[in-house]
Amino acid sequence: MKILVLNGPNLNILGKRKKEFYGISTLDNINIILKDAAKKYDCQLLFFQSNHEGRLIDFIQKHAKSADGILINPGALTHYGYSLHDALVDTKLPIVEVHLSDITKREDFRKIDVFDGIVIERVMGKKEKSYEEGLEKLIKHIKK
């Protein structure tokens, strides 16, 4: 099983951002946690982060054919990334969306989620544990 793990804008500077929302873990720490979790399921993860929507789309289009699912934290693209939305739909893969903070309890603009309706699940508000839980939900869905 192969899962694409995608991270959008500003997630490359985790650990330096508002700790009350995003916690203290860096993206590298989160990726290590995910690699360890994936071993239990004999699952391969392919990681990618970009601050640019087009680069995320290019990565998806290049690697989706060989993947079984997508775990994504779109970052701010959650609220306006319609071309990323379309690229994800085009894959026809199961997708789990994760967020470190609970976007439904933050500023009004963050409550907009252009991925609502295309993801099989959203996990949020659990800091780095959102990723772990999201990965487990995605793997269980794929194995069904």
Residue 48, strand partner residues: 6
Backbone angles phi and psi of 139, in degrees to 5: -60, -45
Half-sphere exposure of 76 (CA within 13 A, CB side): 9
Question: Active-site residues: which are they?
Answer: 22, 99
Q: Please choose, from the candidates 23, 45, 9, 14, the residue with its C-alpha nearest in 3D space to the C-alpha of residue 126.
A: 23
Q: Which residue has the tokens 């894959």?
A: 91
- Tell me the C-alpha to C-alpha distance, in Å, between residue 118 and each of 21, 35, 90, 108, 113: 25, 25, 11, 21, 10
